[in-house]
Amino acid sequence: MEFLSDYGLFLAKSVTIVLAVIAVVGGVAAVAARGKKHGEHGTVEVTHLNEELEEMKQALEEAVLDKDEMKALLKEEKKKEKEERKERKKKKKAHEEEPRRKRVCVLDFDGDIKASELEPLREEVSAVLTLAEKEDEIVIRLESGGGMVHSYGLAASQLERIKRKEIPLTVCVDQVAASGGYMMACLGDRLLAAPFAIVGSIGVIAQLPNFHRLLKKNDIDYEVLTAGEYKRTLTMFGQNTDKGRQKFIEELEDTHELFKDFVAEFRPQVDIDKVATGEVWFGKRAIDAKLVDELMTSDEYLTEACEEADVFIVRYEEKKSLQDKLSSFAVESGDGILSKWYNRLMKNRFISL
């Protein structure tokens, strides 16, 4: 009987712990769900930047100001709010419509070689275009060193959708927008870059190893069978010919011409033959080449925008299976360990620009 009593007590404790964990997880999920609109394949998460900055400001004021200063500040804010309410009432009595504040929607694109952020970008653009009007603005915070032609071509087409709706488009580059990244960036009605951001690289590159001689040395035959003279111009394992190589170069040149025409169409102010050499420029030099319009970080631009408009950061999050979540957790944990190891390794070294 004593055993059963102990077992019952143990079971009750276990059930209590499990229920507590479920309650906590449920609470976290509920909080995380706020500000999200659920769809079949993912969620659109919206952050009101004005409110976020205001909360940060209030936290700093509470920490820095003494009681008297804080009291005076609160009094001043209440007075300002009262005046604004009176002004709104006056307009209402005079049947004057209060103009809607401008909305600024901010989208982030952090591109890798495959432009993996393309799918979220498509969803974000689709969502924003359902609401945005010509008086509003869309800001793209863009970071990319370029990658596959077809992927970045489609990513640039998403920004073209915004231009066809005649909604002002501003592109901010804080670190790098090169090659395919610049293909996207040049679509902006305004293109802003940080002073040391890297832009340009209007060129095309292709490279692949060839193992033909290694296979031949080991008496290994490799056959490439095609229907069509130029179905396969270069190959990794077969013997490449001068004719095939020349055709491949022609294809690269044609792609480069398309790239140049695209940039020239959306930034006619640039001397395209001068800048389309594959070179890159820092922001301060890119101004002279007219590759960018202004030197400014995205933080500065958005903070200033909050003074005259409501700024919303829009992010589409794809739904992930449990397996994907566990895989991501494992990768992030591994990255954290490698980062700590690397920082330790570089601790006693001096690195300069």
Res 351 pLDDT > 50: no
pLDDT tens digits, residue range 21-68?
Answer: 565 555 545 544 454 444 567 888 999 998 998 888 888 877 777 777
Share of the chain above pLDDT 70, in %: 73
Where residue 349 falls among pLDDT bands split at 50, 70, 90?
A: very low
pLDDT at 163 > cutoff 80:
yes
Domain extent at residue 309:
102-201+279-318
pLDDT band at 75 (very low <50, low <70, confident <90, very high): confident
Lowest mean per-residue pLDDT among 47-51, 74-78, 316-320: 74-78
Given 244, 277, 310, the domain boundary residue is: 277
DSSP 136: S
How, if at all, do strands 36-38 and 42-48 pair? antiparallel
Between residues 141 and 339, the one the model is more confident about: 141
108 and 173 belong to one structural domain = yes
User: By the 8 A CB rule, do 308 and 284 touch?
Assistant: no
In a domain, 237, yes or no: yes
Average pLDDT, the chain: 82
- By annotation, the residues acting in catalysis are 179, 231
Task: State how many domains the chain has.
Answer: 2
CATH number of the structural domain spanning residue 142: 3.90.226.10
Looking at residue 326, what is its pLDDT? 63
pLDDT digits (tens, 9 = 90+) for 119-129: 999 999 999 99
Q: Is the pLDDT score of 329 beyond 70?
A: no
Averaged pLDDT for residues 301-319: 91
Query: In this structure, are 137 and 249 located in the same domain?
Result: no
- Say what the pLDDT of residue 353 is: 44
Distance CA 292, CA 194 (A): 10
Mean pLDDT of 191-200: 95
Residues 271 and 308 reside in one and the same domain:
no
pLDDT for res 134? 92
CB neighbour burial string for 199-238, b if at least 16 within 10 angstroms, e if fewer: bbbbbbeeeeeeeeeeeeeeeeeeeeeeeeeeeebbbeeb
Q: Is residue 63 part of a domain?
A: no
Q: Residue 237 half-sphere exposure, CB side, CA atoms within 13 Å? A: 9
Instruction: Write out pLDDT tens, residues 221-261.
Output: 888 888 888 888 888 888 888 888 899 899 999 999 999 99
Residue 197 and residue 209 in one domain = no
Shared domain for 232 and 310, answered yes or no, is: no
**Cα 69 to Cα 63: distance, rounded to the nearest angstrom:** 12
Rounded mean pLDDT, 208-217: 87
Query: Looking at 7-16, 40-49, 144-153, 194-203, which range is the least confident one?
Result: 7-16
